[in-house]
Structure 1
Amino acid sequence: MEFGRTAEDEKFRAEAAAWLAAHAPAPADPAQDRQDRQDRRSWERTLGKARWIGLGWPESGYGNRTATLTQQVAWAEEYARSAAPPRCGHIGENLLAPTLLAHGTAEQKARFLPPVAAGDELWCQGYSEPDAGSDLAGVRTAAVRDGTGEFRVSGRKIWTSLAHEADWCFVLARTEPGSRRHHGLSFLLVPMDQPGRIEVRPIRQLTGTSDFNEVLFDGARAAAEHVVGGEGAGWRVAMSLLGFERGVSTLAQQIGFARELARVVSAAAETGALDDPVVRERLTGLWAELRTMRWHALRTLGGGAGDPGAPSVAKLLWAGWHQRLGELAMLARGAEASAGPADWSAAAPYELDALQHLFLFSRADTVYGGSDQIQRTIIAERVLGLPREPKG
């Protein structure tokens, strides 16, 4: 199963590939922290200047250009093939922007979409909390109006990707005192540059890097006109945003997976592990599963599924697959996989090669972005119509 491609689509793909070949920085070492912050921001602005940001938005006019679904797929796939740097603007482009287009006021769109399209403002997502786990409706972060008409936000968010780089955070907060569960929540746009009112604490991972953060809000300001969808409509807006979370990018992700699989096959050939029929069988199984994931993604994007559980199925498929690939990478490497660098000095205390990084980082795949248990609950309740899980 593949999309039908027109001559215009192929022209668009060729343009994307040529532009990336001419402009993309050299690939960063996947085992290290990506680029430094300034490099990442500079790359976003380069993308914005060439109008490659916002292709999937249903509206143009914000400094972006729109593209058909097949062209969006072409851009995402060519981006992955080029090994261009991981995006630091994807949360604003792929999560916030579609949400504003669906629920925002004309003023909110005019204020926030052009800087996203230009790569000038970066965003992070303030959803998860330490005491709520995967239960989004259990948020305790509160936002209270003060005498100036602004909201004052207080509480804690965790696992906040790119908070250490972001200019803004969209925060799900409780604006109705005494409300419970999904009632009384609002979706607020909060500026991050508030010294003394917002503290970002990087979370060190098994890989030694810090992609996630804990964010503490202590009376942080949020303008009343920056509530999206209206006060008290936070749950509806938040659920709408989650519907944008997985789409075209899934196909590009699979190109990265294929590159990692090839690296594991090469390692197995070098160490002789490929001579083991069990290893060969497992590698073949992973290749077949990756093809299945592509067909599922194409079916979903093509509208053949019409299924609210499709994103959850996709997450279950790739998270488990990626973990098994990481485990097989260590098996292919043999005893050498457990060895660290020769120099464990303070200057380089925790350096990993690409396959070690793959193994350690993939341990989190079945947890972040909605754990496997949450995905199965969504499928059970929203697709299969099984009785809802009792809430404590």
Structure 2
Amino acid sequence: MLTNADLADLAAFRHSLHRQPELSGAEAETAAAVLAFTESTRPDAVLTGLGGHGVALVFGGAEPGPTVMIRAELDALPIIETGTIAHVSERPGVAHLCGHDGHTTILCGLARLLHRQRPARGRVVLLFQPAEEDGSGAAAVLADPRFAQIAPDWAFALHNLPGLPFGRVILEPGPANCASVGLKLVFQGRTAHAAEPHKAISPAATLATLIPGLMGLGTGGDLGPDFRLVTLTHLTMGEPAFGITPGQAELWATLRSLTDDRMAALKAEALAMAQGAAAEAGLALSQSWHDDFAACTNDPQATEVFRRAIAAEVIPLIPGPALRASEDFGRFGAGARACMAYFGAGEACPALHAPDYDFPDDLIPLGIRAFHRVIRELLG
């Protein structure tokens, strides 16, 4: 197992990542830091630049067997950090406020254990995924032709969860995270003098009816099969002037559902509503989709493997619902038996994406123990 010296190294490494965060798609230095820190673990194969700045370390066993992938994320968030920790971000406006620095460090610790004892059979792939926060990284990794070399039979991941008692784990089969996508609508009409609004084609009245209409398509509530939520996230109209009747507007909304098929229906309804409203007002409409996350659904067999591993490590399991938040891990479930677990970061820990959040270092050994037990159970 890991020594106290190992754990001190890992905590120091996480702090160094926290000081130098990088946004989605720009994780070149973070990937290089991972490669440097894990070089001494001597993996059997290393893939770099995977789907962008992704890194995969491969540790093989002596006998044939399945491939087990453990995934962490490299990217940080475009938020100003306000905490007073010694390792606060040194890059203004960018910070590790979701704990990806901690998740990455857990995999680095796992690499040390795999160096000391390879699996008996099969392969372990430690995937450091880029661009999780905007939902583009997993798709890019899967589309990389080299992913076929490491395509897993099993895939596992964890996420820390503030508000949940420290060290408790939520792990359930079925839905784990919602699907979500951003819809950007751009309306174009014609401006006019503010004294002559009748000569304009203004989006004002259209927005006044479309906003409650879109939000009415998904009002949230319990996370049952029919859960849908539409959240208005950004709105602009015209110029900041009193003498102009506006002729242009943008509306951004996030659509959310528990399953991918429900998301397809919600997208179609939202777009049809916007197109109808624009046509009725004589406005041109263009639309685009952003931050597209597939639903994350835990495979029953993978969940049972993870449950047994966590129980064997005497880490407490508690029941809990799926999360409204999205997770880019869901796409890996299309080709593997995949499972995501949530590890409590403490009831007093600031929320994910809060400006004063910091990943608790004491979760690092728990995550390593859980993943290592999964590997031992599946690969010996």
TM-score w.r.t. the length of structure 1 is 0.27
More helix by share: 1
TM-score w.r.t. the length of structure 2 is 0.28
More strand by share: 2
> Over alpha carbons, which structure has the higher Rg?
2
